[in-house]
Amino acid sequence: MSFRKVNIIILVLAVILFLLVLHHNFLGLSSLLRNEVSDSGIVGLQPIDFVPNAPRHAIDRRQEEIPVVIAASEDRLGGAIAAINSIQHNTRSNVIFYIVTLNNTADHLRSWLNSDSLKSIRYKIVNFDTKLLEGKVKEDPDQGESMKPLTFARFYLPILVPSAKKAIYMDDDVIVQGDILALFNTPLKPGHAAAFSEDCDSASTKVVIRGAGNQYSYIGYLDYKKERIRKLSMKANTCSFNPGVFVANLTEWKRQNVTNQLEKWMKLNVEEGLYSRTLAGSITTPPLLIVFYQQHSTIDPMWNVRHLGSSAGKRYSPQFVKAAKLLHWNGHFKPWGRTASYMDVWEKWYIPDPTGKFSLIRRYTEISNIK
C-alpha cells in the first residue's frame, strides 16, 4: 500500500514539474513575440524598443507589414518626427517604423513618440554602433552633416530589418503627402536590390551646384582621374540617383552581399580617395552609385521631389508642391532652420517636443515651437 502511495506522489510531482517547465517556456516565447527582438547577426545594431500601439484609424492587420527605416539624430530629431507623422496620417496600411539612432538619443525620442499626437505609431528603436564605421570613413570637416554616423545606416538595411523581404528607407528631411503603400509597391526588376529616383527625372532636372560640379551625373561624385574608378568602365555622364529615398528588395540585397560591397568601397576611398573632391551630394552616394551602376530600378519621381533645401527660394509652383507625393529638403536649408522654402508645408506635420530640447529656429519670431 505504501509502495502505491509513493508511486502516486512521484507521478504527481512529475506532472507538477512538467507544468512548471511548460509555463516557463510559454513565458519565454511570449516575451520573444512581444518584443520581436531578432539576432541581428552583427554587433552594434541592437533593437532596444518596440511599441505595438493601437492605430488611430482602422488598419487591417492581415495586410503586409511595411517597414520604413529612418535615421534620427539628436540635432535633427524634429525632422524625423515630422516625417513619421506625415507618413502615418496619409495611409491606412500596416506601417512599422524602424528608427535608427544613437544610445544617448533613445530616451528623448521615446518621450517624444509618447505624445498624444503620435501614440498610434508602431515603431522599433534601433541603436547604431559607430564602431561599424571604423576604417571605413575618413574625417572631412568640409562634409559636415553627411559625415555623421547615422548617415550610413541605409547601408545596413537587412540587419536593421532582419525578417523583412522588402523595406523603404528615407531621410529625415522629408514630408510624405501620398500613401506610402504606393511607394512600397514600386516594382523592382529581377536581380535589382533597390529602386531610386534618378537625378535626370522630370521633377528635378539637371541641378548644378556652383563650385560642386554636376549633381546629376557620376562625374559629380567620383574621381575619374583615379585608375580604380576608370577600370570600372562606368560612363562619367551616367545619370546619378538620389539615395535619400529608396525601396529595397532585401532578399536580393542579401543575395548580392550589397552591404559588404558598400563597405569595400568605403574602405578603398579611405585608402585611395576615390570620391570627387567637389562632391556634389552626400558622402553615402558614391559607393551606392558604384554598386548599383546599371543595376537598379526607378521610383516614380513624384516620390522624391527634391532640392527644396538647396536654396531659400521657392523652386516649384504651389500646385506642383501640393501634387508631390514626397517632398525632400536635401541641401543646407532645412525646414526646421531659420531659412528654408515651403516651411509652412513642413510645419503642418511637425509635433512640438514635449521636453523642450528641440526647437524650431525662425528668423522673424521668438516662438520656438509651432503649436
Tens of pLDDT along 226-254? 999 999 999 999 999 999 999 999 999 99
pLDDT at 338: 83
What pTM did the predictor assign? 0.82
Whether 82 and 350 have beta carbons less than 8 Å apart is answered as yes
Lowest mean pLDDT among 63-77, 96-110, 214-228: 214-228
pLDDT band at 36 (very low <50, low <70, confident <90, very high): very low
Residue 32 has pLDDT above 50, yes or no: no
Tell me which residue of 263, 280, 26 sits closest to 143, measured CA to CA: 280
pLDDT band at 279 (very low <50, low <70, confident <90, very high): confident
pLDDT at 364: 54
Grouping H, G, I as helix, E, B as strand and the rest as coil, residue 183 is helix
pLDDT at 277: 82
Q: How far apart are CA 196 and CA 300, in angstroms?
A: 9
Q: How far apart are CA 252 and CA 112, in angstroms?
A: 35
The C-alpha cell that represents 19 in the structure block? 507544468
Residue 145 has pLDDT above 80, yes or no: no
